[in-house]
Amino acid sequence: MSLEQHYTAILGQLGEDVSREGLLDTPKRAAKAMQYLCRGYQQTLDEVTNGALFSSDNSEMVLVKNIELYSLCEHHLLPFIGKAHVAYIPNGKVLGLSKVARIVDMFARRLQIQENLSRQIAEAIEQVTGALGVAVVIEAQHMCMMMRGVEKQNSSMVTSVMLGEFRDNPSTRSEFLNLVR
Ligand SMILES: [Zn+2]
């Protein structure tokens, strides 16, 4: 069965009349939307970074703040939406700025839990740049908490992953945390 046919079945199971006018193209649209939201499965780190790695003597922290993030939780297939802050300490190489955002997007566009998403982003940045340290903080609101279950409308979840210098050196870590706060 195609994704589209599965959506028709789901709508029927939910009690809908799948032949009514408003729903005629819904299975097709829903299938397309879901494929878009999960397009990260079709991407690789190589493709996404596309060789945009440049030599640099800079050994100061590079920080990309407030990267918009849209993902789906792997437990309920409901969105979680927020911002990622990503920093690294270069070790001779820096990554094109837009590529940091594209790495975030590649992992966000898969089924996720926020903790794993944070770690995957950090490890990918480390792998691509060979950085001396990487820090990732994600702050997000989860529709599975807001629309169902405990229905906590204003709670947001914060996760962080610190690698290398950010883990080992408290002053580097606190510099980063002060910059994103
Ligand atoms: Zn969930």
Shared domain check, 68 and 142: yes
| 153 given a catalytic annotation | no
Angle, vertex CA 174, rays to CA 172 and CA 178, nearest 5: 120
Res 140 pLDDT > 80:
yes
Residue in 4, 76, 123, 139 annotated catalytic:
76
Contact assessment for residue 146 and residue 153, using Cβ atoms and an 8 Å cutoff: yes
Per-residue pLDDT at 59: 86
Confirm whether 111 is domain-assigned. Answer: yes
Residue in 73, 112, 120, 165 annotated catalytic:
73
| 76 given a catalytic annotation | yes
| 139 given a catalytic annotation | no
For residue 31, the enclosing domain spans 3-37
Per-residue pLDDT at 150: 72
Confirm whether 44 is domain-assigned. Answer: no
CB contact burial 73-92 (16+ within 10 A = b; e otherwise): beebeebbebbbbbbbbbbe
Confirm whether 16 is domain-assigned. Answer: yes
Residue in 5, 35, 68, 74 annotated catalytic:
74
Res 97 pLDDT > 90:
no
Shared domain check, 13 and 77: no
Region 155-168: what's the mean pLDDT? 95
| 75 given a catalytic annotation | yes
Region 14-33: what's the mean pLDDT? 98
Shared domain check, 166 and 109: yes
Domain total for the chain? 2
Res 60 pLDDT > 90:
yes
Confirm whether 161 is domain-assigned. Answer: yes
